[in-house]
Amino acid sequence: MKKLKKIKKPFTRKLSEFELAYLEELVKYDKVLNTTMLISQNQQEINTTGRGVRASKILTRQTIIAMSLKNILPYPTKSKHHEEDLWDICSISSLARNIMEGYISIYYFGTEEVTEQDAELRFFLFQYHRNREWYQIRRKFGEKEDDLSDFKNVLEEQKKNIREHPFLSQLTDIQKNKVSQGHEIYKTKSDFENENTLCHGLVKNYQLLSNLVHPLPFSIERMDNEKGRGIGHKTDINYCIIALIIARKYLAASTIAFTDFLNEELRKKFKNVLDDIRPFQSEET
């Protein structure tokens, strides 16, 4: 008589309180992401200004980054061992920081109410920074100076336009210094935090995410046999929660800013789903 094989019971476990808290935040992130994707997919052929076009392109980039973040986020379940998910706090923090920076760009280049002179200076800086970076890249990759002469002449003309711009006198000394160094954004993170209520906590959150992204020293000094190894330690889960909340906040702010200030048609058409994510843009971390 054959022995009956024992039926192996499927693996099951109890999720930790940290995993449950993370999953709650993940549901909210999915709601914001789905709304952002909906707006992004319906923004074609909009009638807007140059600032609106730039904001539209930035929103498209925000959508792609937010989708990439979704793809690397862990999803713990009762049927998986806690070490099966990869809690890659470094990559998660990096993409969350990208989304934060994306909102700053949408606000600065698109939705902030500014004078025509200010808008022009910002555009000149934007063009100059882009062209300078591209010129330096091409030169460092071995392109001959003769082939870049026209490029160099354009840069000199753009630099002159910025140096003689009438709005320059209205900037602070710190902002003028950023302009002279060729930064594409003349405002500091503190400026954004002081002027825009949605940017409350920007400086501290940016510093936290940056330290989690950089290889030294904060990121490795906190590692031990469990922490920092991607296996679902409570500390790493808590950092993932913070990064997720920050990403959700600035993704929601980006989507709402684009529709509220630049596209009345989309705002009216998708009012209900936009109102659902509106509270997320004011979250505190």
Is 37 domain-assigned? yes
Total-model pTM: 0.90
Do residues 249 and 102 touch, judged by C-beta distance below 8 A? no
- 125 and 107 within one domain: no
Q: Which of 118, 116, 112 is nearest to 162 (CA)?
A: 118
Share of the chain above pLDDT 70, in %: 92
Query: What is the domain range of residue 33?
Result: 17-112+196-282
pLDDT over 60 at 214, yes or no = yes
Of 187, 209, 243, the domain-final residue: 187
- 133 and 51 within one domain: no
Over residues 154-165, the mean pLDDT reads 95
pLDDT value, residue 45: 66
Is 7 domain-assigned? no
pLDDT over 70 at 165, yes or no = yes
Mean pLDDT for the chain?
90
Q: Select the highest-mean-pLDDT range: 36-45, 144-153, 252-261.
A: 252-261
Over residues 266-279, the mean pLDDT reads 93
Report which DSSP code applies to 107. I
Q: What angle do CA 86, 89, 95 make, to 5 degrees?
A: 110
Over residues 124-128, the mean pLDDT reads 94
Share of the chain above pLDDT 90, in %: 68
Do residues 96 and 246 touch, judged by C-beta distance below 8 A? yes
pLDDT over 70 at 223, yes or no = no
pLDDT value, residue 219: 59
Whole-angstrom distance, CA of residue 64 vs CA of residue 37: 9
Over residues 112-140, the mean pLDDT reads 94
- 156 and 75 within one domain: no
Q: Which residue has the tokens 């790493």?
A: 236
- 84 and 205 within one domain: yes
pLDDT over 90 at 172, yes or no = yes
Q: How many other C-beta atoms are found inside a 10 Å radius of the C-beta of residue 285?
A: 15
Over residues 139-165, the mean pLDDT reads 92
Of 165, 187, 209, the domain-final residue: 187
254: exposed, middle or buried (Cβ count in 10 Å: 0-12, 13-18, 19+): buried
- Name the more confident of 46 and 188: 188
